[in-house]
Chain A
């Protein structure tokens, strides 16, 4: 594979993801294979470009972690300012969705709909196991240690896959 600089450039975005995006952007257009390959490599190059620029901005601001602000400023200074509005929107959307889910989950508890029932049952099960553990002759803790670790902080219980 064409490698531009250094050894770490074997890392690329998966070809399938790129193909899908190209197809969505240019439906019904035939794209040559070497062109696809190129787009994959361009992605990597773009990511390096943005991260280096954002990293520089970050260093100048004497912070240790690259923040969203740094990325936005990097996009602006590299001529990709037109992307900024949309990426910001999508980020905001995601956060709103995440926040809503959290609020909804805690509201559900109070309203007492099926999910709350599940949670309660889960709590009961945990309680039962704890009781069982107490009554084991040798006071064995081997098996139950994992249960204890999983033992419910409220937020842990909300991570249902179906959500």
Chain B
């Protein structure tokens, strides 16, 4: 009983001060990964905090590297560029495909066909 109370206190302290993301939601997401069973409360906290740092890191480096900086904006393509160019963000390329204009895509298709013909 007292162990649980200490746990709750850690979670409450976390919620009050140092963590902006909801730990309960993070836990749900973790558990939806295959095979993940039990997670220690502190481990959950570390993951939540790391996710926060990740958001900050992603936003900052996408902005700093990206072309939106002059216009003071952060766009989809800034993020996609960061995913491609930064090694640690490469795991995102699956969900962050670079958007290309339809005509560019069609053009590249044509070019591929030409190569095949030759």
16 new A-B contacts at CB < 8 Å, known A6-B32, A29-B72, A159-B8:
A14-B22, A32-B76, A42-B54, A43-B54, A45-B92, A46-B51, A48-B33, A55-B33, A55-B36, A64-B38, A65-B37, A65-B40, A68-B46, A71-B43, A87-B49, A98-B9
Sort A-B residue pairs by CB-CB distance and give the 3 closest, nearest first: A8-B32, A79-B88, A65-B38
Residue contact A72 to B56, C-beta cutoff 8 Å: no
* B85 vs chain A, min Cβ distance (A): 14
Select one of A32, A45, A59 contacting B73, CB under 8 A: A32
| Binary contact readout A50-85 vs B (1 if CB under 8 angstroms, 0 otherwise) | 111011000100001111101110010011100100
CB neighbours (8 Å) of A26 from chain B are 59-60, 63, 74
The reply to whether B18 and A94 contact each other, CB–CB distance below 8 Å, is yes
Interface residues of A in 132-163 (CB under 8 A from B): 153, 155-156, 158-159
Let me know if A13 and B53 touch, CB within 8 A: no
Interface residues of B in 47-79 (CB under 8 A from A): 47, 49-60, 63, 72-76, 78-79
- Dominant secondary structure of chain A at its interface with chain B: helix
Whole-angstrom distance from the CB of B61 to the nearest CB of chain A?
A: 11
Complex contact A80–B2 (CB within 8 A): no
**Range of interface residues on chain A?**
35 or more
Cβ of B74: which chain A residues have Cβ within 8 Å of it? 22, 26, 29-32, 35
- CB of A86 within 8 A of CB of B49, answer yes
Q: How many residues of B contact A (CB 8 A)?
A: 61
**Contact residues in B for A95 (Cβ distance below 8 Å):** 10, 42
Asked if A13 contacts B26 (CB within 8 A), the reply is yes
Segment 79-133 of A: residues with Cβ below 8 Å from B = 79-80, 83, 86-88, 90-91, 93-95, 97-98, 101-102
Cβ-based interface call for B13 (8 A): yes
Chain B nearest CB: distance from A29 CB in Å? 6
